[in-house]
A and B are shown apart, each in its own frame.
Chain A
Amino acid sequence: MALSRLSLRSNRFLRPSTTAAALPSSIRRHVSTDTTPITIETAVPFESHLCDAPSRSVETSSAEILSFFRDMARMRRMEIAADSLYKSKLIRGFCHLYDGQEALAVGMEAAITRKDAIITSYRDHCTFLGRGGELVDAFSELMGRKRGCSNGKGGSMHFYKKDACFYGGHGIVGAQIPLGCGLAFAQKYSKEEFVTFTLYGDGAANQGQLFEALNIAALWDLPAILVCENNHYGMGTATWRSAKSPAYFKRGDYVPGLKVDGMDALAVKQACKFAKEHALKNGPIVLEMDTYRYHGHSMSDPGSTYRTRDEVSGVRQVRDPIERVRKLLLSHDIATEKELKDMEKEVRKEVDDAVAQAKESPVPEPSELFTNMYVKDCGVESFGADRKELKVTLT
């Protein structure tokens, strides 16, 4: 969708990229459709546990790197818009933002299909977008509107997109890990050649149910990939205060692991591609993504009582995932600064339009209080606060 818009708009000719597969200057291609392979080296090597690390040379293309930029910019803008909507009290309750971690969402999508499954925690807005979710559905859900991806019944922590094999959106820390292993179980049971990525944080990495599920996944050879999004803080508790061993990629013990620079979309892509191949042949693997969140744990957390502002701005300056991709695009002559700025402006408008549209969307009907309790209602009764006033037979 985004890419085709660019190709319609852009009739600029580009300077050819200066890589091993360089194009003769007489051939001009539209940036967005240029799938000529390019190879990029990751800045940081992979660290491995009980396996051979994949190569640092990542196969990609101009089109792909540009899509990373656009998709991450969209995700970033969405989270920033959510921040202001929360402050204006249009979003209530919990709101856990992902800005800083976007590379993970886009890198993973680049390595897998929409039939591979993803399940994650409550920090799920960008994962939803990565799976093909629409901005207006996300904002509507956040604001509790009918148009929301869960009809306003779920909220920030409960986004789902089953047709893209995105199974949520879970509020209980660590619960998604056995659930994800269950998805992998179903994939193996049905003899499908797909895998499940189950995402969790450094806080959840200490949960007992992780080890229970991983044990079963390893015993039964389930195609489960456990992805620890290590943003170094479990709410207000830094990893050194919560984990005796913060080498999360090694915590699988008998299960192989890989440590990845989670702020590098290409490294994430490489790791996920490697993990998928591994999981299909050899069962579970743990990926530790070294990443960072700019916001606090949630909108109720300023994020500055347990870390310094210098630390946050330091990461932003040196490791920001969008800036890295911007530098890559510029240094490889895939796009100009102006083109990228224009793209960011378009994304900003997309997001603003979606917010406006979502604001117009109505709240759910009162009757929605009682819908979707069961698939098969069998004449069940349900009650409102005053059961003599509000009693419903579910049909």
Chain B
Amino acid sequence: MWGILGRRAVDGGFSASSLRRMRSGLVSARSYAAGSKEMTVRDALNSAIDEEMSADPKVFVMGEEVGQYQGAYKITKGLLEKYGPERVYDTPITEAGFTGIGVGAAYAGLKPVVEFMTFNFSMQAIDHIINSAAKSNYMSAGQINVPIVFRGPNGAAAGVGAQHSQCYAAWYASVPGLKVLAPYSAEDARGLLKAAIRDPDPVVFLENELLYGESFPISEEALDSSFCLPIGKAKIEREGKDVTITTFSKMVGFALKAAEKLAEEGISAEVINLRSIRPLDRATINASVRKTSRLVTVEEGFPQHGVCAEICASVVEESFSYLDAPVERIAGADVPMPYAANLERLALPQVEDIVRAAKRACFRSK
């Protein structure tokens, strides 16, 4: 059952067509059904926004270059042509202003999808995300809810330097009242963004620029217009029994590569794709650690007070007696992001870092 997406492809009126781009390509060693279609993360996000705009006239898109420019990263491509300027709004470069306007529109019952060109610029608007959006339902004892989505690329890109490379997962996920999601695959992107747009609470949706062009196999179910993933549930991307590796976003790909390398050396790693940073799926994480007895937690962002720190604390609190080794953290280096390519590589987690930490947790020397 393909729903709207399928009908649109037949009509040919679907400008942001991910279906036309589908090819039954090489299926990777990931556990997806054989012969499934593929979709880039970009198309996944685009189709998700498109379907939700089609289904609910209160959904509208707002941000810099989202309309005529087709989106700085082409995520909103075709939407202006399809829905017109009353649903897709190009804003001036004034994050505090347009974010506040988005939150106010959400107070009044509309469903804005506000794009930050990168989450680095969200800092200009962070008061509205936290004080105007996250806390309103609580402060008003349920009178004012805020059904808004703040989305955009988060974390490091390639060579964009210190001011354009920060990961905001830890900051936003520390705030009660927000939901914070971080997709990895195309299926994650579709399911989580659709869930976020439908959600009556404010959602921070952290994408990754380097994942936009990556193609993933995608199931029939995920292509359906009613497809939604639950918020607050992690996904076990790869089952294993010796060590648990938790991570999110781009690092999921690195963790999967690390798991393959570890398998060659006889270590079976279980890779958990968090999908949801807040609420954090502590149950899945702890169940996995109770099975494997070892934890390596990975993130791209700054190490101090990071997502990994929260996961380590949770595991130590809830599963201490199951641990056979100290918890391990692999995170971005504790420095502003340098520009030089070799330094940038040193500042970010690499596959070999994850492998090394997993081996340490298994008490194996190099």
Cβ-defined partner of B100 (8 Å) among A162, A181, A189, A387: A181
- B253 contacts the other chain (CB 8 A): no
Contact of A153 with B139 at beta-carbon distance under 8 Å, contacts A209-B100, A381-B279 already known: yes
- A303 contacts the other chain (CB 8 A): no
Contact check, A182 vs B102: say whether CB atoms are below 8 A apart: yes
Complex interface: chain A residues within 8 A of B144 (CB): 160, 162, 167-168
Q: Kindly identify, within residues 71 to 107 of chain B, every residue whose CB is under 8 Å from any CB belonging to chain A.
A: 86, 89, 91-92, 94, 96-107
What is the chain B residue whose CB lies nearest that of A383?
B176
Complex interface: chain A residues within 8 A of B177 (CB): 373-374
Give CA–CA (A183, B105) in the complex, Å. 5
Contact of A119 with B92 at beta-carbon distance under 8 Å, contacts A175-B128, A178-B99, A213-B97 already known: no
Chain B 124-139 interface 0/1 with A at a Cβ cutoff of 8 Å (1 = within)? 0001100110001111
Contact check, A172 vs B176: say whether CB atoms are below 8 A apart: no
Complex interface: chain B residues within 8 A of A213 (CB): 97, 100-101
Give CA–CA (A162, B107) in the complex, Å. 9
Chain A 110-134 interface 0/1 with B at a Cβ cutoff of 8 Å (1 = within)? 0000000101000000000000000
Q: Kindly identify, within residues 166 to 191 of chain B, every residue whose CB is under 8 Å from any CB belonging to chain A.
A: 176-177, 179
What is the chain A residue whose CB lies nearest that of B145?
A375
Cβ-defined partner of B108 (8 Å) among A117, A376, A378: A117
- B303 contacts the other chain (CB 8 A): no
Give CA–CA (A371, B140) in the complex, Å. 11
- A177 contacts the other chain (CB 8 A): yes
Give CA–CA (A180, B91) in the complex, Å. 17
- A372 contacts the other chain (CB 8 A): yes
Q: Kindly identify, within residues 149 to 178 of chain A, every residue whose CB is under 8 Å from any CB belonging to chain B.
A: 150-154, 158, 160-162, 167-172, 175, 177-178
Q: Kindly identify, within residues 214 to 270 of chain A, every residue whose CB is under 8 Å from any CB belonging to chain B.
A: 215-216, 219-220
Q: Kindly identify, within residues 137 to 163 of chain B, every residue whose CB is under 8 Å from any CB belonging to chain A.
A: 137-145
A205 CB, nearest partner CB in chain B, Å = 15
Complex interface: chain A residues within 8 A of B142 (CB): 371-372, 375
Cβ-defined partner of A182 (8 Å) among B86, B101, B136, B141: B101
- A380 contacts the other chain (CB 8 A): yes
Contact check, A182 vs B96: say whether CB atoms are below 8 A apart: no
Contact check, B232 vs A380: say whether CB atoms are below 8 A apart: yes
Give CA–CA (A336, B128) in the complex, Å. 50
Give CA–CA (A190, B110) in the complex, Å. 9
Contact check, B96 vs A212: say whether CB atoms are below 8 A apart: yes
- A68 contacts the other chain (CB 8 A): no
What is the chain B residue whose CB lies nearest that of A153?
B141
Complex interface: chain B residues within 8 A of A189 (CB): 60, 86, 105, 110
Complex interface: chain A residues within 8 A of B131 (CB): 171-172, 175
- A388 contacts the other chain (CB 8 A): yes
- A17 contacts the other chain (CB 8 A): no
B301 CB, nearest partner CB in chain A, Å = 22
Give CA–CA (A372, B98) in the complex, Å. 26
Complex interface: chain A residues within 8 A of B231 (CB): 378
A300 CB, nearest partner CB in chain B, Å = 21
- A187 contacts the other chain (CB 8 A): yes
What is the chain B residue whose CB lies nearest that of A219?
B92
- A186 contacts the other chain (CB 8 A): yes
- B43 contacts the other chain (CB 8 A): no
- A379 contacts the other chain (CB 8 A): yes
Contact check, A182 vs B92: say whether CB atoms are below 8 A apart: no
Give CA–CA (A184, B100) in the complex, Å. 12
Contact check, B96 vs A185: say whether CB atoms are below 8 A apart: no
B212 CB, nearest partner CB in chain A, Å = 27
B192 CB, nearest partner CB in chain A, Å = 13
- B240 contacts the other chain (CB 8 A): no
Contact check, A186 vs B97: say whether CB atoms are below 8 A apart: no
Chain A 353-395 interface 0/1 with B at a Cβ cutoff of 8 Å (1 = within)? 0000000000000000001111110111110000110000000
What is the chain A residue whose CB lies nearest that of B99?
A178
Give CA–CA (A220, B101) in the complex, Å. 12
Complex interface: chain B residues within 8 A of A152 (CB): 141
Cβ-defined partner of B279 (8 Å) among A154, A169, A183, A380: A380
B116 CB, nearest partner CB in chain A, Å = 15
Give CA–CA (A212, B91) in the complex, Å. 10
Residues of B within 8 A of A (CB): 60, 86, 89, 91-92, 94, 96-110, 127-128, 131-132, 136-145, 176-177, 179, 199-201, 230-232, 279, 282, 317
Residues of A within 8 A of B (CB): 117, 119, 150-154, 158, 160-162, 167-172, 175, 177-187, 189-190, 208-209, 211-213, 215-216, 219-220, 371-376, 378-382, 387-388
Contacts A/B (CB < 8 Å), 13 sampled: A119-B104, A153-B138, A171-B131, A172-B127, A175-B132, A180-B104, A182-B107, A184-B104, A212-B92, A215-B94, A376-B199, A379-B232, A387-B317
Given A158-B140, A209-B100, 16 other A-B residues pairs in contact with their CB atoms under 8 A: A152-B141, A167-B144, A172-B131, A177-B100, A178-B104, A182-B105, A182-B107, A183-B105, A186-B104, A187-B108, A208-B96, A213-B97, A215-B94, A216-B92, A216-B98, A372-B140
Q: Which 9 A-B pairs have the closest CB atoms?
A: A182-B104, A178-B100, A212-B97, A186-B108, A212-B94, A151-B141, A179-B104, A375-B200, A182-B101
